[in-house]
Amino acid sequence: MEILKKNSFILGMVLSTIAPIILFFGLTALVDFLSEKYTQGIPLIQEHNIILVSIFLNMIIFTTYIHKPPYDKTGRGVMIMTFIFTGIYFIWRFRQFMD
């Protein structure tokens, strides 16, 4: 885990891209499993809410890195990717409402 202790803008961007993707697929699989088991396939949580939770994970990562003095570049990388993902999410949701 030595790689997570580097102060790198690129590390922050990569970390904040991979972590939400892994969480999204994990939560999607869990919700699908629980939906099949308890509600005969009716989704317990909508997909857009799972996406928001996945993006929110970046805020936890951001808080962890920004409060450690030598890791400000990594925190900035996480912050930029969080803003990008949030912007993409809002554009996607806005287009869903317009259709």
Spans of all domains in the chain = 8-98
Report yes or no: 4 and 66 within 8 Å, Cβ to Cβ.
Answer: no
Q: Rounded distance, CA 62 to CA 80, Å?
A: 10
**Each residue of 22-48: pLDDT tens digit?**
999 999 999 999 999 999 888 889 999
**Each residue of 49-96: pLDDT tens digit?**
999 999 999 999 999 888 888 888 999 999 999 999 999 999 999 998
Q: Rounded distance, CA 8 to CA 5, Å?
A: 9
Number of H helices, E strands in the chain: 3, 0
Q: Model-level pTM? A: 0.86
Q: Rounded distance, CA 86 to CA 53, Å?
A: 11
Report yes or no: 15 and 4 within 8 Å, Cβ to Cβ.
Answer: yes
